[in-house]
DNA sequence: AGATCGGCCTGGACGC
DNA sequence: TGCGTCCAGGCCGATC
């Protein structure tokens, strides 16, 4: 079975942010070259502007620019940032290049699912505009999370992937958190007690993955070119057919909401 | 208006 | 060996 994942979710994007911030903040973007691509919007407007803080919201990186603008960056499936140097020279998959006053930064993205946009600060649309609370902040409240889960008829996993109940959870960490909370990905309108278990599991799996600088199967890499160390700790995602770490029954892979989903049919209850 | 589904995009794994 | 098919999936727009 092909496991091409390792897509950037919250822990991977946060790891990128931590490496990118000290080399991007307080720099001036001299100019931008972008190979045409439908997911870039007004990227050239970043030229000539100074970068303020580099923040993260969910899976998005947000660089404050002077003039009341923001540069929004999403890594998609295969996006990465690399600074030119002995360790990195551009290849055919570089989709945009930011020439800073003291460095050259490439945005590389084999599958072109990533996006870049310059927008007036705070003027968001789509997923970013409807994004749920940051899971590792106090804004992520168990009671509100329970109410959100009660408010929809969707199965819990596709609902998590919508980014509305909580920001930054993608396919890997949805499977991991549901396994840890012993909740079936097919469960609907789950009760207060189990909602709180899932709330805690989401925070745990994300915090642990950040400590390990993310999950790399193949594509995801950090700004320094290194891989994350979390793949060895996965308990569900990518483990189909292997014994469940709790009960020993084989983990099953199904399609749910169009996404590969691995879970334990025995100890994850609907 | 909320839920669902197809399209985007490419390289790698796999089968014959 | 080589070619065709399938798979990975976040987000968005169209449709129900």
Query: What secondary structure does DSSP assign to A175-235, as a single string?
Result: HHHHHHHTB-TT--S--HHHHHHHHHHHHHHHHHHHHTT---SSS---TTSPPPS-GGG-S
Bases along strand B below 7 A from a protein CB: 2-14
* A59 annotated active-site: yes
Which nucleotide lies nearest residue A131, CA to C1'? C11
Q: What is the pTM of this model?
A: 0.95
Residue A160 pLDDT grade (very low, low, confident, very high; cuts 50, 70, 90): very high
Question: Residue closest to B13, CA→C1'?
Answer: A2
Question: What pLDDT is stored for residue A74 in this prediction?
Answer: 96
* A30 annotated active-site: no
Considering only residues 44-83 of protein chain A, which place a Cβ less than 7 A from any atom of strand B?
77
C-alpha distances in Å from residue A179, one per residue of A41, A52, A77:
38, 39, 23
* Chain segment A87-140, per-residue pLDDT in tens: 999 999 999 999 999 999 999 999 999 999 999 999 999 999 999 999 999 999
Question: Residue closest to B12, CA→C1'?
Answer: A2
Residue A224 pLDDT grade (very low, low, confident, very high; cuts 50, 70, 90): confident
Residue A4 has pLDDT above 60, yes or no: no
Question: Residue closest to B9, CA→C1'?
Answer: A111
DSSP state of A251: P
Of the candidates A168, A127, A162, which has an alpha carbon nearest to the alpha carbon of residue A14?
A168
* Chain segment A188-206, per-residue pLDDT in tens: 999 999 999 999 999 999 9
Q: How far apart are CA A137 and CA A82, in angstroms?
A: 29
């Amino acid at each position: 079975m092909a496991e091409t994942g390792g897509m950037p979710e919250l822990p991977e994007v946060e790891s990128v942010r931590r490496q990118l911030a000290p080399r991007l903040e307080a720099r001036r973007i001299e100019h931008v070259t972008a190979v045409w691509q439908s997911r870039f919007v007004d990227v050239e407007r970043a030229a000539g502007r100074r970068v303020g803080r580099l923040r993260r919201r969910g899976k998005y990186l947000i660089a404050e620019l002077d003039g009341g603008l923001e540069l929004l960056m999403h890594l998609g499936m295969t996006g990465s940032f690399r600074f030119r140097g002995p360790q990195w020279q551009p290849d055919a998959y570089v989709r945009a290049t930011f020439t800073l006053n003291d460095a050259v930064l490439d945005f590389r993205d084999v599958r072109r699912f990533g996006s870049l946009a310059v927008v007036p600060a705070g003027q968001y649309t789509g997923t970013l505009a409807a994004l749920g609370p940051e899971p590792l902040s106090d804004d992520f409240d168990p009671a509100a999370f329970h109410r959100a889960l009660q408010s929809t008829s969707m199965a819990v996993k596709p609902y998590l992937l919508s980014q509305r109940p909580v920001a930054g959870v993608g396919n890997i960490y949805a499977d991991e958190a549901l396994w840890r909370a012993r909740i079936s990905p097919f469960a609907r309108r789950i009760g207060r007690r189990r909602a709180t278990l899932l709330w805690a599991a989401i925070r745990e799996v994300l915090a642990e993955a950040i400590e390990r600088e993310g999950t790399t199967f193949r594509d995801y890499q950090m700004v320094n070119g290194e891989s994350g160390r979390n793949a060895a700790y996965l308990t569900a995602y990518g483990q189909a057919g292997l014994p469940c770490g709790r009960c020993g029954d084989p983990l099953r892979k199904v399609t749910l909401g169009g996404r590969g989903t691995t879970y334990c049919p025995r100890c994850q209850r609907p």
